[in-house]
Amino acid sequence: MIRFKETGFYTSIQDRGRFGFRHLGVPVAGALDQISYQNSNLILGNESNTAAFEITMLGPTIEVLKRCCFCVTGADIEIDLNAESVPINTAVIAEKGSLLKIGRVKNGLRAYLNFKGGFSSEIKLNSASQFSGITKENRVSPLSTYELKEDFSNLISEYKSNTLVSTVEQSELMQLEVYKGVDFRLFPKEFIETLTKTEFMIGSSVDRMACQLDTKSELAHTIDRLSSPTYVGAVQCTPSGKLLILMRDSQTTGGYPRLLQCTKHSVNRLAQIRPNQRLKFVLND
């Protein structure tokens, strides 16, 4: 068993996502950075849909009440096991009674803490991904405990590390690959030039629903349509000219026109972007 002494800034349980209920208004949810999440299962040799804890900005402090094997992937983050630093992207054994303290993110925004064999949590509509109105809680709460599914009391050394694709942006200006969105055709030609020439700034809101960019008055418009389906990675443009990039918890329908569509890889990269970082769109044909 593990117990959360502190939960960190925002820690939630996530997996690949919830499929087959979109027509009922249920967002797909799931780990925002699917690449880093899948890496955690690869390193531990888990089944690919084993749920992990998604950590944002500041990690949790956890009491390990049963010998286990864990790893952390994604953003560059401080990981201390019994006050000793352990590496990222590496399977590490924690003895019973250990204290695992995950600190601040140094680069990127989200990290994934996963356990070999997985842990028990509430499954709703075929997924462990926490979401308001579907699961009882939308994030891990203080002092909550989770049962580890398998016993690793005899596991000897699992110091397995991996060189992996990183989704964390290294350059000052993110070049984000996008396609034309479903409603691209409704916008005037001048928009397109503005879009690809302009540098955008990430706003203060980068939650699981959407990533907001700063308002550009050149992108203001009066296009008004009936509510439409939305897609993960759709870039909506509000009448005032603010771009909203929809993430995995976003509602399944929305009123703003869908100007661009991010590649799936772009969505994973956006999961690691921070407020005030700069971004430029690269339009694929």
Partner 1 sequence: MNFKESYEIITVPEQGIEIIWDHFHQNPDFFERIAYVYQALKSEMKTYEAVEVSMIYNKISVICSLELVQQVKAHLKKSVDKSSGHKIESVHWKIPVFYESELAKDYAYLEEKLQLTRTEIKELHQSRTYTIYGIGFLPGFLYMGELNEKLNVSRKLNPDLHIESGSVGITGAQTGVYTVNSPGGWHIIGHCPIPFFNPSSENPAWAKPGDVVSFFEIDKNTYELIKIQVETTVFDIKKYLNDSI
**Any contact of residue 263 with partner 1 (CB under 8 A)?**
yes
**Does residue 132 belong to the site contacting partner 1 (CB under 8 A)?**
yes
173-180/258-262 β-pairing: antiparallel
The answer for residues whose C-beta is within 8 angstroms of residue 193's C-beta and 6 or more apart is: none
- Which one among 61, 228, 238, 277 touches partner 1, defined by CB under 8 A? 228
The reply to whether 253 sits near partner 1 by the rule CB under 8 A is: yes
Backbone φ, ψ for residue 202 (5° rounding): -70, 130
Burial label for 276, CB within 10 Å (0-12, 13-18, 19+), is exposed
Q: How many residues of this chain bind partner 1 (CB under 8 A)?
A: 32
Which x/- pattern over 15-34 shows residues binding partner 1 (rule: CB under 8 A)? ----xxxxxxxx--------
Beta strand pairing status for 84-85 and 68-81?
A: antiparallel
In angstroms, the CA 137 to CA 105 distance is: 24
Does 276 bind partner 1 (CB under 8 A)? Our answer is no
- Identify which of residues 58 and 134 has a Cβ nearer to partner 1 in the complex: 134
Terminus-to-terminus CA distance in the chain, angstroms? 50
- H or E element that contains 223: none
Quick check: 283 binds partner 1 (CB under 8 A)? no
Q: What is the DSSP letter of 272?
A: T
With CB under 8 A as the contact rule, the residue among 61, 144, 194, 252 that binds partner 1 is 252
- Judged by CB under 8 A, does residue 196 bind partner 1? no
Q: Residue 37, SS3?
A: helix
Closest separation between CB of residue 158 and partner 1, Å?
32
Binding flag, residue 159, partner 1 (CB under 8 A): no
Which of 151, 165, 264, 282 is the binder for partner 1 (CB under 8 A)?
264
Per CB under 8 A, residues contacting partner 1 are 19-26, 124-125, 132-135, 179-180, 182, 226-229, 231-233, 251-254, 261, 263-264, 284
